[in-house]
Structure 1
Amino acid sequence: MRLDMASLGRSNGTLWFVVFALMNLSACASTPDQITWIENGKTTRAEIVSRFGDPDLVETTKTGTMVTYQSTASKRPLPPVEIPTVQPGPLGTTAVTSKPIERSLGSDDSTTPKSEWITHEIHIRYDENGVVQDAYH
């Protein structure tokens, strides 16, 4: 009996493909749906913001406001930024100190309190009163 290495490699590759595909499907199935608690026509903007923080994108349309929350699972808090400053010291010496810089406009320092990390991008549409009309991934 002769062992054909080419066919063995193909069947082994097929096996790895099936194992990889099953692992990906099981990972998707085990991710909890983060918007099941949101009730259309009942949940308010304040409730959403208290749970997810401020949205990453806000669009105002004729039918209301659409907000988008991007995945925060991979975001890390940004380290503090300091600038060294040189000041004259006694007897012609200099003193170097660090001065912290406050983050602003466009910086994501993750200071907005969030009670959970967002694993998938979430889109929420509010009416003119700030009540959820639609929420989806």
Structure 2
Amino acid sequence: MSKEGVKKLESKEGLKKQISKEGVKKLESKEGLKKQISKEGVKKLESKEGLKKQISKEGVKKLESKEGLKKQISKAGVKKLESKEGLKKQISKEGVKKLESKEGLKKQISKAGVKKLESKGGLKKQISKEEVKELELKAGSKS
């Protein structure tokens, strides 16, 4: 079309040729973007299994697998999310310290007042100051 580099737009399956001198080289298929999109740092998006390469210079280094985010995501304080068993490290400086396991959230979630959710069996602590009393009366009348 012009000397600026738009050569072919073959099909809806993907743009397979250079669109401009700005760096979009290949968009091979819907399976994944496998080539450089721009000079801004996206290098490889290998597969749907995970983003395994650097996405930007802003600090996302590795997202290893669906099992967990094991590397630093940003400089903003998310250090480790070890496994699906629980979030065991600090998520932010805003006060979420530990979420021990799927059995329950056993630590402070926020300064806003949710203190303990002990088990999946039920909410045994304060839901609100106005509803717990009614729930206790209903439980007492059934047993």
Shorter-chain TM-score bucket reads: under 0.3
Say which structure is richer in helix: 1
Say which structure is richer in strand: 1
TM-score normalised by L of structure 2: 0.20
TM-score normalised by L of structure 1: 0.21
Which structure has more RCO (C-alpha within 8 Å, separation ≥ 6)? 1
Larger Rg: 1
